[in-house]
Amino acid sequence: MKTRNSTGSVFRCIRWATLVAAGFISIVGTSNAAGDTQSDATPSVVVFYSFRHVMPVNVDWDRGIRNGLASAGLENIRIEVEYLDLDRYSDDDFRDQLVDLLEHKYANRRIDVVIPVYTQAIDFVLAQRTRLFPNVPLVCCTAKAELAARIRKVAEATGTEFEIDYWRTVQDAKRLFPRMRKLYLIGGVGETDRHYRRMAHRALDDRLASRGIEIIDVEGLPIVEMKQFMAQADRDGVALLLTCDEDRDGNHPFTVDVSKQLCADCPVPVFGTYDTLIGTGVVGGHVWSIERHGELAGQLASRIIAGEDVAEIPLIGLHETQSVFDARQLNRWKIDTDALPTGSKIRFAEASIWDLYRSQIVLGIGLLSLQTLIIAGLIVNRSRRIKAERSLFASRGEARNLAGRLLSAQEDERRRLARELHDDLSQRLAASAIGIGQLELGDLGNADSRARLKQMKEDLIGLSDDVHQMSYQIHPSILEDLGLEDAIRSACDRLARRDKIDVEFRCGMLPDPFSDAINLCLYRVAQESLWNAARHAETQRIDVVLTADPETVNLEIRDFGVGFDSDAALKNGGLGLASLHERARIVGGDLSIAARRGSGTTITLSIPLLDDDR
């Protein structure tokens, strides 16, 4: 405890400071305040806290009050705050001078609501309200039962009341630690500390005694001694931390600091009775919320500022309690959350990946699903495309095969027609010519008849030659009779005689005879190219070159005429060029056409030679 003399010295210093401040206010500020504040329409609230301003519980109350005022939508509320700390400064002279100071400070100022917070502030404001704040509504925040009864008798007062449920907290502790046989009541020796200890004994003594649980008081120990004492605590015990506003050495620690130091290495679990202690090392408890009471008080003040009659507003907040636990301490003491009371709230739980990144995960899954659908669609489309391409390729193959078969059938038919023309029609025409010749040698009368018969003979001879030539063109039997080189040379000679064009044919050394298909392809390409040059090129010269090596056979037909656009001719569907390409394809050859208008045309055919082609 502090000595009376030291306390008196502090009071005298404060008294002088108070008098100086009061004089300054009365001389300088009163007249200005009277005029300015009366005309100021901004709502004004004065909050009185029981404890010094650095106490953590004040922070919770203040946050709640401001949130409650803001929730009503009121803006620009002027909030004045006073910290009384009457537990430490309980001298009557101090109180008198404090009242004088406050009277000067708030004289002639419009105050809409006064909010005294907790026991000491409520008691002080109720006692001094007629002097300090006459006719000003009071919202008493966090009033104990006996104060709540006094508040109800004041017409211009309302507020929030609370009651600590010690028994529910001990029940929670017993539920989580069934082997509990001792309860350590830890607290200080200040006025508030002793009050809560008495309330705890009143609520617990009989109930715990009937259950064989011993109560052990740990009262007023400095933190170091407290930790040493609790280090020897029985392992079947549980501690209940009350308040520690003052220890027996006169120190004034904060209860939250005591909790942090004690719980760090205490061998038994520690429980608390108000929510500010949650997070300082206590396991939990059935607690009342300081911030919630501040919020309720702020809401009541907002209703009064809005014009509601304070006399019509009852006290609220008595049952604003809840079982709250610290997840970290549950892990420390290996307590399953399923063992907690129904409706319990867990704080400081480590957020899971899902809790931290829920929106990102949902978005990612959505995008991944969309991407999967797109990929699946692409795969399906690709498989369909491949199937269609294969079908198209097969169709093209069938078309090409059909074209080859048609060409083969065409050649077979030409061969048959050539045989018919040569062996039948041609022979018959020749026989007719012979018969007419015999008639010519006889005596047919006059000269005119003989001339006519002679003309008929010449016509029949010409017809026979034409039929023979046609049969030769339909199927070149000369290929089978004389071979490829002579057949092409014969075609060149016939074209030169018929169209009076200089045709030069050169042939290199050829290997063993080629297959019939290659021979026919080379001959038909040469024949078709010569005909095209004679009909369209307007040329006077054509060069034909046939060469071969062990791997390939090459044929080149070049004219020196007007040329043409080969790409346009192919696009226009020319059958001659298409048949040339198809013939080359059937035997696996490659046919190219180099042509430009005014520069002549060169057709080159290259056919690879396989073993079966020789």
pLDDT at 319: 85
The arithmetic mean of pLDDT across residues 539-562, rounded, is: 92
pLDDT at 155: 84
pLDDT at 472: 60
- Topology (CATH level 3) of domain 4-161: Rossmann fold (3.40.50)
Q: Strand pairing partners for 239?
A: 184, 270
pLDDT at 12: 45
pLDDT at 3: 35
Q: Which CATH class is domain 479-614?
A: alpha beta
Q: What percent of the chain has pLDDT over 90?
A: 54
The arithmetic mean of pLDDT across residues 138-163, rounded, is: 92
pLDDT band at 25 (very low <50, low <70, confident <90, very high): very low
pLDDT at 583: 86
Strand spans (E) along 491-550: 502-507, 541-548
Is the model's pLDDT at 16 over the cut of 80? no
Short-list 470, 541, 528, 462, CA closest to 499: 541
pLDDT at 278: 94
pLDDT band at 33 (very low <50, low <70, confident <90, very high): very low
The arithmetic mean of pLDDT across residues 445-452, rounded, is: 67
Domain boundaries of the chain, sorted by first residue? 4-161, 479-614
Sequence-ordered alpha helix ranges (H) in 222-357: 223-231, 255-264, 290-305, 327-332, 353-356
pLDDT band at 86 (very low <50, low <70, confident <90, very high): confident
pLDDT at 229: 96
Residue 277 has what DSSP assignment?
G
Q: What is the pTM of this model?
A: 0.54
pLDDT band at 435 (very low <50, low <70, confident <90, very high): low
CA distances from 448 to 313, 352, 454, 605 (A): 153, 126, 10, 57
pLDDT at 545: 95
Question: Contact 225/255 with Cβ under 8 angstroms?
Answer: no
